[in-house]
Amino acid sequence: MIAVENFIGNPSDKILYSYILDIVRKRLKIYPEAVVTDLGYRSQNNFKISRDKVKNVFSGCSNDVEEKERDFCQKARSATEGFIAVAKHWHGFKRSLYKRFSGDKIWSLLCQSAHNLKKFFQLYREEKLEENTLVKLGLLG
């Protein structure tokens, strides 16, 4: 199951929802099966936008989705909050040097890149990367 979570922007900005949904569709070539957001994106318009595109839309209220999907959506929402907290407090997202939506996007990409590089070097140092991955990256002949 593919889930889309809040990527970038002010959670109270309801106009970002359709924009982000379109970005995900363009990148993945399909709409996600589930969209998980917070209450800032909960509007009738966003539910209407999703109606024919997304099977499950969870916007912070348990009754947004069928009971069998609630556990997945609630766990995805909790994981998102944890990731945001880590990004803000441990990876410098709280100290963004850039402002507004485009600045948040730039800073988000920089923080994600730094996090991924750090994780890659950690796995590389601990020799936990598969050999075919190292060959593909040109680190092994």
Does residue 122 surpass a pLDDT of 90? yes
Q: Which of 10-19, 32-41, 106-115, 117-126 has the highest mean pLDDT?
A: 117-126
What whole-number distance in Å separates Cα of residue 47 and Cα of residue 120? 38
DSSP for 43-105, please give it: -HHHHHHHTTT-SEEESS-GGGS-HHHHHHHHHHHHHHHHHHHHHHHTSSGGG-SS-HHHHHH
Encode pLDDT of 24-60 as tens digits: 899 999 998 888 887 777 788 888 888 899 888 888 7
pTM for this structure?
Answer: 0.53
